[in-house]
Structures are given as C-alpha cells and as structure tokens.
Amino acid sequence: MTTPPPTVPPPSAATPRSGPRPAPWVRTRLRAAPVATVLGAALAFVAVLLAAALPRAQDRGADQALRSFLHHSGPSDTSLLATAPPPEAGQSTQVLDGTLKDLLAPTGGSLPIDADAVIHGSRTVKRQPLVNPELSRPSGFPPNMALLYVRQAQAHVRLVEGRWPGDAPAAATGGAPAQGAQDPAGSARPLQIALSKRAAETLGARLGSVLTSAPQLHGTPSVEVVGLYTVPDETEDFWADLGCLARACEHYIGENLSWDVDAFVGAGDLDRLDSWGRTAVDFWRLPVDIGRLQADRLDATAREVASYVAGPTAAALARESNRDLLRSTSRLSELFEQARVRRQAAAPLAAIGPAGVGGVAFVVLCLAGALASDRRGAELRLLLARGGSRVGIVGRLLGEGAVTVLPAAAAAAALAVLLLPTPRLAPALLSAAAVALLALLAFPVRAAVLLAPPRPAARWRRPVGELLVLTATGAAVLEVRRRGISPAGSDMDPLLVAAPLLLALCGGLLLARLQPVVTGWLARAAGRGSGLVGFLGLARAARGSGASGARARGRGGPSVLPLVALLLAITTGGFGAAVLQSVDSARLEVARLTVGGDAAISAPGNSPLPDGLAKAAGELPGVRTSVPLWIDHDSFVLGTAQGTTQVTLIVAEPAAYAELSRTLGCGAFDPALLAGGGAGSADAPVPALFSADLARQAAPGTYVLRAGSGGELRTRVTGVIDCTPAQPGPGGVTVVLPAGPATASIHGVDRPNRWFGLGSPAADGLRALVRATRPAAGAADAAATAAPGAVRYPTAQALPVDEAYPVRTSAEAVAELAADPLQRSAQRLFWASVAAAAGFALLAVLLTLMRNVPERAALLARLRTMGLRRRQGVALILAEALPHTLAAALGGALVAAAAVALLGPAMDLSTLVGASVPAGVRLTARPVLIPAAGLAALVAAAVLVEAATSGRRQITTELRAGDQR
C-alpha cells in the first residue's frame, strides 16, 4: 500500500507571514519626539496666523481710512447727480420714478448705491423775487424764493401748522377757480407750498399768505402758504444741496442784505413748477454706499463712475430713459484719486513693519529647519548608510512635516479669516500658503543638502553671496534717494520698502564676520586674568557655542541665523520708531504754528481781552511762558517803496515774545533788538522788527507807523524776521514793536487782545477762566466805542463764550491732526509687526539655546566635578550667550541709525502728519536705542532663565547620560 503524497495547498491560499511587521514611520517618529513635534506645529501655527492676518489687517485699515475720508467729504461730493429738463409730454411722479429706475439699473457691484438715501424730484432753476410789501427787506432788496418738489420730503420734516400740499390740486377757499382756471386778472391759481416756520418768521409771512413774484409774460406767478413745518435735524444728509429749506439764508449784494428762501410744492403742482421760474430741472441724487466700498477695488469703482458720468453708461442711460439732455456729474473720481495718493503716501510705514516681521519669520523657520537637521543628522546618515535613498528619506521627512504643519496652518488661516473679516480672501490665503510651504520644506530641504555627496569646499561662495547682497542694498538705497520711497502717481516699489531689511542683512553679514574676531580678542584678554569662567565662556562664544557650533560655523550653519534675526528685528523697529517720532514731532510743530503756541486765547476784532485774563492765564498750572500781546490788522507804514503799506501790527513784551518765536521756530530774534526805544525822548523812534516782505519795500531808516485803532509813532528798523507766531501764515506783512514805548502813542495797547502760552495748560481750565472773567455787556460796549474814530466791532457779550473768546491748545490741534484712520491703522499695524518681529527674534535665540542644552549641561556637570560652583556655571552660560545678544543690539542700533540717515531724507511724512511738512525723517537717539535696548534686555532675561535652569541639573544625571547626545 502506497502512501499518498502530502496535500499541498494551492498557491492562492494565504499563508501567515512570519516576523514582526514594520512600524509606521511617521507615527513612530512623532511619538519619539513629542516636544519637538508640538513646538514645530506651534511655530507653523503662529507663522501662518501672522501671514494670513497681516494682509487682512491691511485691507481693513485701508477700507476704514477710505470710508472715513469719503464720509468727511460730505454727501454731495460722494453722490452721482443726474439732471435733465422736464419732459415735454408732461411731468409726473411716475415719470420721475421711471427715470430713477433706469438710473439705478447699471449700479451695484463696484458702484454700490444706497437706494434708501436716494433724493430725487424737480426744482426751479432761478429764485424769483417776492414783491409783497409786507415782507422783510433788511436793505431794501426783496427776498427771493425757489420751489422744489422732492419725493418723500414729508418724512424728513414735522408739520406744525396747516397741511402738506396735496398730490392733487384742491379748490382754493372762497370759491377760487380750480387748477387751470383763470382769476379775473388773468393769472392762474397760486401754487400751494409748505414753508419752513423759521423762514416764515424771518420773512414776515404766515399760514395762508399769498406771495407774489414779479410779472412775467404769461402772468403774475404767486404761491399760497398752506403749511408750515420745522426740520428736526438740519445736519441730515437729506438736506445737503437742497437750498434754503430749513431756514432763510442771508444773501449779500455788496454790503446789502437780502433773504433767500425755498419751499416745497406738492405732486399736484409738479407740472406747473416751471411757471414760477420760467425753467425747471429734474434731479436725481444717487449717494454711493460708502460702507460697501473697498480700497482694493477703487480703480474699478473709478472706472464705473467715469463711465456713468461721460462714457458708455451715460449714453445708454440717455437712450433708455428717453431724455437726450440727461447729464450726470460727480466729484467721486477726484476724491478717489486723492484717497489713492493718501494711501500711497502712507504705504511705506504700513509695509515696513510687515516686511520686517516677514524677514525675521523667514530666518526663524530656516533656523528651525537647520537645527532639526543638526539634531537628527546622525540618524539620517545612518539611514542613508543602510541603503535608504535620499529621495525616500526626504519623502518620509515631508510626511512627518505634513502631519504637523498642514493641520496647524489650516487652523491658523481659518482663525485669521474669522478674527479679521474682510471681503478679500486671496491675499491672506496666498500668504498663508507661502509660509506653510516654507515651514514644511525647511527641514526636508536642509536634510537633502546634508545627505548630498560631499563636495570640495568652495571658498568663493560666501564672498560672492555677500557681494550680491551688498550690491542689491546699494542699488535700493540709491533708488530711494533718487525717487523717494513712494514716488507721486505710482504704486509702492517693494524693492524700495525692502531697503531697511537689506541694510540689516548687510549689517548681519558684517557682524557675523566681526563678532567672532572681537569675541576672540576679549577671550584672550580674559585669559590673561586669574579666572577661567570669563575666558571659557568667551572662547566658546568665539568658536560658535562649542563643537557643534563650530561644525555649523564651518558649514555656514545655524549659528549665524539668530544674529541675523535679532539684527532684522532691531533695525526694523528702530527705523519705524524713528519715522513715528518724526511724525509726532512734525505734528506738534504744525499744531503749535497753527495755534501760535501751546495755548491761545483771542478776542473778537480789535476788542481787548477781559481785564486780568492774561495775567490769570499765565498763572495757571502747566503754563511755562505767558505772552500777552496786542494785534492790529489795519495799521499802515508810511514812506515805503509803495508809499503806504498796510501791515499787521504786533505789540508784545520782547523777552517773552522772543522765547515764543524761538520755541516755535518761527522768526527767532534777539530781544535786545527791541530794547532802548523811546527812552531818551518822546520823539525818539521806536525800534521795530519788519517782516521779510516789508523789509524788501523799506530801506534802512525811520518810518511813520499809523495804527488802525488810533495814534501814530516813528519807528526804525532794527531787525528782519521771516515769520511771526501771531501770524504764521505765508505772505504776512508784519511789524513787531516793544510793549513799553508803544503804549503811550497807540490807543489800546495796554489792554492785550491776544494771549499765547507755552507749556502744557489744560484747555478746560482756560475755558473756565474765560467764563469767569468775561465782562458785562455794558463794559464790552464801552470798550468797543471808547476810541474816537475807531472801527466798531460786534461786542463779545453778544456771542456765546466759546465764540467770543475762542480757546485753542496745541494738544487739541495735535489730536485733530492724528484723528485720521489712515494714520492710526498704519501705526497700529507697525507696532503689531514690531512686537511679532521681536517675538520671532527671541524665539530664534531660545531655539539656539535649547539646541545646545544637552551639550552645555554635560559640560557643566564635568566642570562641577572639578570644583565649579553653581554661580560660576550661570556666569559661564551668560558669558557664552550674551556676546551675540549685545553685538546684535549694538549692530542693530547702528544699522537703524544708518537706515534713517540714508533713507529718511526721501520720505514724505505729510500724509501721516495730517498737514504739509518738509520731507525727511529726523535721526534721534531715543527711537533707535529703545527697540535695541528692549529686545536685548528681553533676550538677556531669557538667557538668564535658561542659565539658572541648566545650573540646577544634577551632576550624576548628566554624567550618566554620556557624550552621545
């Protein structure tokens, strides 16, 4: 009997695989270094969050500044105004509404219109005189009236008497004829109008009055007042450019006064509106919805407006509305151009901060990749030696990074979009994607370079790279000095904004070469002493933090990157702080020149200030210098090249006025020039300072000065001034006299009509003082008429106190200049960027310190076994780490000062200041040193904390760890 062969399973049957399964690479590596994984994800999250947030913050600031600028321009300038003659077929509200529908059809998208605020109707072109003899005629001229029909006007007024003119004509009381009927005189029935109650009181009209105009060819037009109304809010946008509907307006013909008034008619009289002024015009005011405008789409909006005013859209509207004479006008294109110029002028400061934080973040991400490859270099070489391919290893490293970086980047981008809502999404996503890609590729690319086959060292690479950086920096600086950072009429050049960063990079490269040499000299000097701590720390700093640092230094590795990061952060912060300091200084100078000092009180006309006010104001807290003076704008100098020249006469105490001029930088002079006048005799000429314009008309000699308030005296020119704080505007022809000699000859000089102060007085205190010392009505009238033949001005008692004696301070003027959202958004963005750059620079230092912790701890442990005390260990770490920080702080301050000196003269700060100022950024020590000292102190504190932590490690633990870490 034969044995059957063994049963062989078919080939397709599954057989259990023997041996352990390979562990998943990504999960194993992430679990092996959880702290590094979390830190990498956190770094990617913060970097992507800032990258996505900065473009959205810039968009929000630009949109807010644009909307604020347009809002302050007023509703008339930010609207599309369409006009057309009434149709010959007959006017009606349906025709007006139909044309409005045609006008609104092409709007929307880039040209949003606020449909709820549209104003449209019809109005007479010219005002007609009212010949009723009972009406008010201040100078004998009759009042004038225009009529308007405005849709939904009744919703913006409050009817107080009578009724609103009806939509259909109603029979007049007393059996008057209906619409179209003629009265016995041949005139049509009066148009029914609603008149403002305030205007009616001014004219002397009342409910039921029939107001008649001058006779015309078709009869004598007349209107009947059927309703009186009041306007709850005269500042409402509805009333802009609608004429004198809320009250009667003053109309001067030469020096003669007459009244202008306008009134509403109802829809029932709309087709007869042209009978009042012979011609009428339909109008549609379409206000642009400012809240929906975007700065990045401003060019598209400007094109839409241009097409609407005089382009294809305008031609299509005239054709579709059957109104060949339809015309549209708007100032929006001009305002958009002004807004674009303002944004261009503020763009450099708004870009300096983000460019700085971008440069520092780039360095930190590269540093993180370099440190990671340095930490895992032995592992990667072992994988390559065991048969792994370089492409395969880099691919696995990309997988590791994708698991940590991509989720963190997505979360950061989503958070930025959520926290900073703005319509434009693409810039934020592109910026976030670029930073996420850099964070993802930094380590794999560095590892690929590390695993590349060794090549002979090329000594020319570093000098060539440094030469290229130096060339680009020189080109950028020369271009900035030639064209300016923001050339007029062009967008900002990124190369020009990057000039401070290029300067910082040059400084970093130079410092990287000098710092080891200088530190080596210091180490050799310390070696001559008896202590070893300073020598050992400085020697390690000169070598680049130990063996690993030396290897990195030999490869051009991560030891230089923290230095470059610190230098970039300090340079950017110092340059931007110098710009803001110059803006604040220029703004204060402009405010002081506008006010005339740090505080000013004025009296109306030539009337004097209340008795004792100037003395009391000078005694208020915060007042350093009190300058009461007397100003007369109607004085004359006799004997000039023109014969007689009208001047502004200023009489002041010489020493106080000289200090005011010197402080304001406006016409500084030596007070001795005004001394000695009139001391010898009454006929002696009084010394005087002439303005430059007047000095060109007057040769040296003696002149007669005749004051407008009465009196004259002889003067002699003792000095020429180019400006006076009391009249800082251009073209002022002024004469300055000392108070003592001029008092006896000119009436009223002993009672000043202006007061200026230097220091920091409170505006509320000055206004309270004015209210407390304000004269009674009788005293004011007596003062106004005391001088025989003097010009009589309205008394201050008849005006509110804030108008009678206005108080102004430089602090309030500075606040007004700084209220522009464009300035505030640029400053906020800059300081936020500086804080982020400082944080990244500190992170670069901490990453370097943490990388060297194992080696440093082992070194300290060995030295402790040889008798090194704990305090000496902390001192050793500080001596090793602080030279880099101090070198970066000093180098950053020097580079920032160089950037201000090279680039500052090309910057125009007028837009940031809020007024026209000379171009240039001033170089001062404080804004340059504060960022350097602050960041150096922050880094030193971090180093001290790390040193104290390292000094607490146990000797036995470090010795047991060995030398393999």
H or E stretch including 663? helix 654-664
| Tokens matching residue 643 | 């014969």
* β partners of residue 757: 599, 626
The per-residue pLDDT for range 365-377, each reduced to its tens digit, is 988 888 888 888 8
Q: Is 640 helix (H, G, I), strand (E, B) or coil?
A: strand
Would you say residue 786 has pLDDT above 60? no
Residue 665's closest CA among 706, 724, 585?
724
- Find how far residue 293's CA is from the centre of its chain: 18
Q: Are 578 and 900 in contact (CB under 8 A)?
A: yes
Nearest to 833 by CA among 4, 57, 41, 10: 57
Secondary structure letter of residue 280 according to DSSP? E
State residue 556's pLDDT score.
Answer: 41
**Statement: residue 833 has pLDDT above 80:** yes
Shortest CA distance to 120 belongs to which of 88, 91, 160?
A: 91
Q: How high is the mean pLDDT of the chain?
A: 81
- Please calculate the CA angle 948-951-952 and round it to the nearest 5 degrees: 95
b/e per residue 641-667 (b: at least 16 CB within 10 A):
eeeebebbbbbbbbebbbbbbebbebb
The 10s digit of each residue's pLDDT in 582-637 is 888 888 888 888 888 899 988 877 788 888 888 888 888 989 989 998 888 888 88
Give the tokens for residue 864: 């402790």
DSSP string, 166-191: PSS--PPTTT---TT-B-TTSPBPPE
Q: How confident is the model at residue 802 (pLDDT cuts 50, 70, 90)?
A: low
What's the pLDDT at 485?
Answer: 62
Task: For residue 229, give the nearest of 263, 255, 268 by alpha carbon.
Answer: 263
Tell whether the model's pLDDT for residue 781 goes beyond 60.
Answer: no
Within 707-776, residue ranges assigned H as helices are 739-743, 763-773
Lowest mean pLDDT among 383-397, 520-534, 850-864: 850-864
The answer to whether the CB of 801 falls within 8 A of the CB of 575 is no
pLDDT at residue 532 in the model: 75
Residue 747 carries which DSSP code?
A: T
Instruction: Look up the pTM and report it.
Output: 0.78
**Contact between residue 712 and residue 695 where contact means Cβ atoms under 8 Å apart:** no
User: Which residue type is seen at 503?
Assistant: L
Checking if the pLDDT of 708 tops 80, the result is no
Cβ neighbourhood burial of 786 (10 Å; 0-12, 13-18, 19+): middle
Q: Whole-angstrom Cα distance, residue 16 to residue 126? A: 104
pLDDT value of position 553 = 40
Closest CA to 108 of 284, 301, 297: 301
Give the CA angle between residues 791, 796, 801 to the nearest 5°: 155
- Cβ atoms of residues 742 and 686 within 8 Å: yes
When pLDDT is averaged across residues 174-187 and rounded to a whole number, the result is 40
pLDDT per residue as tens digits for the range 648-694: 888 888 899 999 989 888 888 888 888 765 544 556 788 888 888 88
Distance set, CA 39 to CA 17, 368, 372, 965 (Å): 39, 10, 11, 20
